[in-house]
Amino acid sequence: MKATVYVTIKQNVLDVQGTAVQGALHSMGFEEVGKVRIGKYLELELGNVDKAEAETRVKAMCEKLLANTVIEDYRYELA
Amino acid sequence: MKATVYVTIKQNVLDVQGTAVQGALHSMGFEEVGKVRIGKYLELELGNVDKAEAETRVKAMCEKLLANTVIEDYRYELA
């Protein structure tokens, strides 16, 4: 089983990295770019676990290590 | 139009951040976790551009700024 985790800055938190990238894109001539938000993308290999078990475990990993839930949201897909 | 860009380390390049996260997860009791790969996830707002134009522009942004194509792959979705 493989998990894909997306960690993004919460909507009401200032994304400084995104703002910097937006500025850089503007200065390079990509003026059409509006808001930029940057997050993390993780691929985890999970071995042979069933889907319900994997769901619980990946949620725990996100809460404990992968996302800072004070300022970040996360979502995941299992395949 | 909105673009979602995924930037990942190439398969044959060592992902040190992923290895560190894997080690941390193991030491926290998540021993089922195999390989971990970490990338970036970007959301760009593009204003009113047509899809073909957006495709060309986003590709250029990836090549010039968002991805280091020596060690990273990128893919994007337009919606």
Q: pLDDT tens, B44-55?
A: 999 899 999 999
Task: Tell me the one-letter amino acid at A56.
Answer: T
End-to-end CA gap in chain B: 6
Domain ranges in chain B are 2-78
Give the residue ranges of chain B where pLDDT is below 50.
none
Angle at alpha carbon of residue A71, lines to A67 and A77, rounded to 5°: 40
Contact, B68 vs B35, CB < 8 A? Answer: no
CATH number 3.30.1280.10 is the correct assignment for the domain at B2-78 = yes
**Residues of chain A contacting residue B41, judged by C-beta atoms under 8 Å apart:** 6-8, 38-41
**pLDDT for residue A10:** 96
User: Looking at residue A6, what is its pLDDT?
Assistant: 97
Query: Quick one: pLDDT at residue B69?
Result: 96
A20 — contact with chain B (CB < 8 Å)?
A: no
- pLDDT value of residue B46: 95
Contact B25 A61 (CB under 8 A): yes
The alpha-carbon gap from A71 to the nearest alpha carbon of chain B, in Å, equals 16
